[in-house]
């Protein structure tokens, strides 16, 4: 260690308390710092690209609340809209004009969906989309990919067993085997496995769900050609294709991965960015498909806080900013420059280290493989190096999500100076990691 560790006395004390209140001291598992050194940092405030912890340490933040904060922390437009709307009450359980306003912003600028339903999380959006696909097709089985995350609903907490095409095995205790038996799991980027699954379960698969830009288990970029194959095989089999765009939606462009690849899925799910930092999820499809949802259709789905006015306000304010001309071009150019500088540095040093990137998403991989496209390509042993890097970066005021399987995000609030500081910290950290 060439630098003293940052002080974490206050965070550590808060964590001790939290452990008496919450399982593992947290309300979502990955926050527990199980895969990196130290105890979780308790965050006190955020502004722009920076966050401050309970001990007063300041960081440039690349976790960005796991993706929602594409404008950075405490954005003035979002904050002002939210505080304005809050003055009039925070929940009615009755429709408000704000729901129409957010729907108009989205539907008016997205050619892939005609109707939408707001829910309160990505998990809920995906769970509802699966039910809709089952209700529409009158089939039960779904197919997912190893290395994609779709929230924590029962049918989707399922991982691959052994073999090319497998029934899933539950990846959490408490998920009935009968649920896992309805979920088929195959590897990403594998046409043969997909083809076999459709042969073996002919006429039974309601939906295929994929993160078109898989970003929850590293960044496993798929080829356009593979995604087109997936679209075609679904069409040929009367199976609905669900793009889970909870991360990629409004991230790689306002219309997400569907527009990026020019592929029309049957159902889309959104979350994260859509709520401007407040809890919002959504799913959408053609009007014909969406009208299978209650109260017009027979597929039931509801929510006490769905379309909550304060959350709608945050979404409206954030998405309005994203629609300004040049927003994504600027963000993507900034990210590309940042990533290239790191790629050039590691190439010159000859380090076994790659940076995958798309839009304003990046992922650090300790490997010399250039195109990592499947979960099996990731060597779990490489995560010890990430753990060292994470520690060095924390000590240099750079905050990444506390796991090497997590991607990083660049927001509109990251300044050139932030990115210069970060590059230097990354170069110094990598030199230490590769020397030890
Ligand atoms: C985050 C995420 C989810 C789950 O969303 P929550 O709001 O955490 O429930 C689902 N799918 C994808 C692709 C995600 O990234």
Catalytic residue numbers, as ranges: 149, 244, 272
Q: What torsion, rounded to 10 degrees, do the Cα atoms 206, 103, 156, 278 define? A: 180
Whichever domain contains 230, its CATH number is 3.40.640.10
The DSSP bridge pattern shows strands 205-210 and 141-146 to be: parallel
Q: Is residue 262, in this structure, part of any structural domain at all?
A: yes
Answer yes or no: is the C-beta of 268 below 6 A from any ligand 1 atom. no
Answer yes or no: is the C-beta of 406 below 6 A from any ligand 1 atom. no
Ligand 1: distance of its center to the CA of 212 in Å?
A: 13
Q: Locate the ligand 1 atom nearest the alpha carbon of residue 247 and give its number.
A: 15
Contact 391, 35 (CB under 8 A): no
Q: What are 186's strand-pairing partners?
A: 145
Contact 76, 92 (CB under 8 A): no
Neighbours of 384 (CB within 10 A): 13
The shares of helix, strand and coil residues in the chain, as percent rounded to the nearest 5, are: 40, 15, 40
> Is the torsion defined by CA of 121, 118, 252, 267 positive or negative?
positive
pLDDT given at position 264: 98
Residue 68 has which token pair? Answer: 């929602």
Are residue 312 and residue 357 in the same domain, yes or no? Answer: no
Q: Locate the ligand 1 atom nearest the alpha carbon of residue 126 and give its number.
A: 10
Q: Is the pLDDT of residue 136 over 90?
A: yes
Percentage of the chain exceeding pLDDT 70:
99
d(CA 287, CA 295) in angstroms, rounded, equals 14
DSSP secondary structure code for residue 381 in this structure: G
Are residue 63 and residue 23 in the same domain, yes or no? Answer: yes
By CB neighbour count within 10 A (0-12 exposed, 13-18 middle, 19+ buried), where does 65 fall?
middle
Residues 6+ apart with CB under 8 A from 22: none
Are residue 68 and residue 180 in the same domain, yes or no? Answer: no
Residue 264 has which token pair? Answer: 């029309």
> What tens digit of pLDDT does each residue of 304-345 get?
999 999 999 999 999 999 999 999 999 999 999 999 999 999
Residue 10 has which token pair? Answer: 């206050």
pLDDT given at position 1: 47
Are residue 368 and residue 427 in the same domain, yes or no? Answer: yes
Q: Is residue 1, in this structure, part of any structural domain at all?
A: no
pLDDT given at position 3: 57
Contact 15, 54 (CB under 8 A): no
Are residue 91 and residue 182 in the same domain, yes or no? Answer: yes
d(CA 224, CA 260) in angstroms, rounded, equals 9
Q: How confident is the model at residue 165 (pLDDT cuts 50, 70, 90)?
A: confident
Q: Ligand 1 pocket check: which of 67, 68, 126, 243 to mutate, most ligand atoms within 8 Å of Cβ?
A: 126
> Which residue, by CA, sits nearest to atom 13 of ligand 1?
246
Q: Is residue 81, in this structure, part of any structural domain at all?
A: yes
Ligand 1: distance of its center to the CA of 385 in Å?
A: 26
Ligand 1: distance of its center to the CA of 204 in Å?
A: 26
Q: Ligand 1 pocket check: which of 272, 280, 363 to mutate, most ligand atoms within 8 Å of Cβ?
A: 272
Side-chain half-sphere exposure of 422, counting CA atoms within 13 A: 26
Are residue 380 and residue 402 in the same domain, yes or no? Answer: yes
Are residue 170 and residue 302 in the same domain, yes or no? Answer: yes
Contact 63, 49 (CB under 8 A): no
Are residue 299 and residue 377 in the same domain, yes or no? Answer: no
Are residue 122 and residue 24 in the same domain, yes or no? Answer: no
> What tens digit of pLDDT does each residue of 367-412 get?
999 999 999 999 999 999 999 999 999 999 999 999 999 999 999 9
Q: What are 140's strand-pairing partners?
A: none
Whichever domain contains 412, its CATH number is 3.90.1150.10
Query: Which of residues 265, 287, 322 is at a domain's end?
Result: 322
Contact 207, 267 (CB under 8 A): yes
Q: How many domains does the chain have?
A: 2
Ligand 1: distance of its center to the CA of 35 in Å?
A: 20
Q: Locate the ligand 1 atom nearest the alpha carbon of residue 211 and give its number.
A: 13
Task: Kindly report whether the global pTM for this prediction surpasses the value 0.85.
Answer: yes
Average pLDDT, the chain: 96
Ligand 1: distance of its center to the CA of 207 in Å?
A: 18
Q: Locate the ligand 1 atom nearest the alpha carbon of residue 122 and give its number.
A: 5
Least Cα distance to 260 among 302, 212, 217 occurs for 212
Q: Locate the ligand 1 atom nearest the alpha carbon of residue 124 and give its number.
A: 9
3-state secondary structure of 22: coil
Q: Is residue 344, in this structure, part of any structural domain at all?
A: yes
Answer yes or no: is the C-beta of 144 below 6 A from any ligand 1 atom. no
Ligand 1: distance of its center to the CA of 122 in Å?
A: 4
Answer yes or no: is the C-beta of 284 below 6 A from any ligand 1 atom. no
> What tens digit of pLDDT does each residue of 43-101 get?
999 999 999 999 999 999 999 999 999 999 999 999 999 999 999 999 999 999 999 99
The DSSP bridge pattern shows strands 58-61 and 398-399 to be: parallel
> What tens digit of pLDDT does each residue of 348-359 get?
999 999 999 999
Q: Is the pLDDT of residue 255 over 90?
A: yes
By CB neighbour count within 10 A (0-12 exposed, 13-18 middle, 19+ buried), where does 298 fall?
exposed
Q: How confident is the model at residue 4 (pLDDT cuts 50, 70, 90)?
A: low
Are residue 331 and residue 343 in the same domain, yes or no? Answer: yes
Answer yes or no: is the C-beta of 245 below 6 A from any ligand 1 atom. no
Ligand 1: distance of its center to the CA of 433 in Å?
A: 31
Q: Is the pLDDT of residue 296 over 90?
A: yes
Q: Is residue 4, in this structure, part of any structural domain at all?
A: no
Place of tokens 């000590």: 395
Q: Locate the ligand 1 atom nearest the alpha carbon of residue 245 and give its number.
A: 13
Answer yes or no: is the C-beta of 246 below 6 A from any ligand 1 atom. yes
Domain encompassing residue 110: 76-322
**What angle (nearest 5°) sits at the alpha carbon of residue 375, between those of residues 371 and 377?**
50
Answer yes or no: is the C-beta of 151 below 6 A from any ligand 1 atom. yes
Answer yes or no: is the C-beta of 244 below 6 A from any ligand 1 atom. yes
Are residue 260 and residue 399 in the same domain, yes or no? Answer: no
Are residue 194 and residue 275 in the same domain, yes or no? Answer: yes
pLDDT given at position 164: 74
Q: Locate the ligand 1 atom nearest the alpha carbon of residue 271 and give its number.
A: 7
Query: Which of residues 322, 348, 374 is at a domain's end?
Result: 322
Ligand 1: distance of its center to the CA of 125 in Å?
A: 9
Q: Is residue 3, in this structure, part of any structural domain at all?
A: no
Residue 113 has which token pair? Answer: 């969906």
Answer yes or no: is the C-beta of 247 below 6 A from any ligand 1 atom. yes
DSSP secondary structure code for residue 39 in this structure: P
Answer yes or no: is the C-beta of 271 below 6 A from any ligand 1 atom. yes
Residues 6+ apart with CB under 8 A from 67: 247, 251, 272, 273, 409
Q: Is residue 152, in this structure, part of any structural domain at all?
A: yes
DSSP secondary structure code for residue 142 in this structure: E
d(CA 209, CA 164) in angstroms, rounded, equals 18
Answer yes or no: is the C-beta of 385 below 6 A from any ligand 1 atom. no
Query: Which of residues 322, 341, 376 is at a domain's end?
Result: 322
DSSP per position, 182-236: TEEEEETT-HHHHHHHHHHTTTTEEEEEE-SS--SSS--PPPHHHHHHHHHHHHH
Q: Is residue 54, in this structure, part of any structural domain at all?
A: yes
Ligand 1: distance of its center to the CA of 144 in Å?
A: 15
Within the chain, what is the greatest distance between any pair of CA atoms?
64
Contact 281, 119 (CB under 8 A): yes
Contact 171, 159 (CB under 8 A): yes
d(CA 5, CA 306) in angstroms, rounded, equals 43
d(CA 434, CA 436) in angstroms, rounded, equals 6
d(CA 282, CA 120) in angstroms, rounded, equals 8
């Amino acid at each position: 260690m060439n630098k003293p560790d940052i002080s974490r006395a206050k965070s550590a004390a808060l964590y001790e308390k939290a452990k008496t209140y919450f399982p593992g001291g947290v309300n979502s598992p990955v926050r527990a710092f199980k895969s990196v050194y130290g105890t979780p940092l308790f965050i006190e405030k955020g502004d722009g690209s920076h966050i401050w912890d309970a001990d007063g340490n300041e960081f440039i933040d690349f976790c960005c609340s796991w993706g929602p904060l594409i404008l950075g922390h405490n954005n003035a437009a979002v904050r002002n809209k939210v505080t304005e709307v809050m003055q009039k009450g925070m929940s009615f359980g009755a429709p408000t004009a704000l729901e129409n306003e957010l729907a108009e912003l989205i539907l008016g600028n997205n050619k892939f969906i005609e109707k939408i339903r707001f829910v309160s999380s990505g998990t809920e959006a995906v769970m509802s989309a699966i039910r809709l696909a089952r209700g529409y097709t009158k089939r039960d089985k779904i197919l997912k990919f190893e290395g994609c995350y779709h929230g924590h609903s029962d049918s989707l907490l399922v991982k691959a067993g052994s073999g090319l095409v497998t029934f899933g095995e539950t990846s959490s205790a408490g998920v009935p085997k009968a649920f896992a038996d309805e979920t088929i799991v195959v590897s990403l980027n594998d046409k043969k496995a997909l083809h076999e699954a459709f042969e073996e379960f002919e006429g039974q698969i309601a939906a295929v769900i994929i993160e078109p830009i898989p970003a929850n288990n590293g960044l496993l970029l798929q080829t356009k050609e593979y995604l087109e194959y997936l679209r075609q095989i679904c069409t040929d089999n009367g199976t609905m294709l669900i793009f889970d765009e909870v991360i990629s939606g409004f991230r790689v462009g306002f219309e997400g991965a569907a527009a990026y690849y020019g592929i029309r899925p049957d159902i889309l799910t959104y979350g994260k960015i859509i709520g401007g930092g407040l809890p919002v999820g959504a799913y959408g499809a053609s009007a014909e498909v969406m009208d299978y949802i209650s109260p017009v259709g027979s597929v039931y789905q509801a929510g006490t806080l769905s379309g909550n006015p304060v959350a709608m306000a945050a979404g409206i304010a954030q998405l309005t900013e994203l629609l300004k001309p040049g927003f994504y071009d600027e963000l993507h150019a900034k990210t590309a420059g940042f990533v290239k500088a790191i790629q050039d540095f590691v190439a010159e040093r000859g380090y076994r280290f790659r940076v995958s990137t798309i839009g304003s998403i990046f992922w650090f991989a300790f490997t010399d493989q250039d195109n990592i496209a499947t979960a099996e390509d990731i060597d779990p042993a490489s995560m010890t190096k990430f753990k060292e890097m994470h520690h060095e970066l924390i000590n240099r005021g750079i905050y990444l999500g506390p796991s090497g399987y997590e991607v990083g995000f660049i927001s509109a609030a990251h300044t050139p100076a932030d990115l210069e500081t970060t590059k230097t910290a990354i170069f110094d950290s990598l030199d230490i990691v590769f020397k030890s």
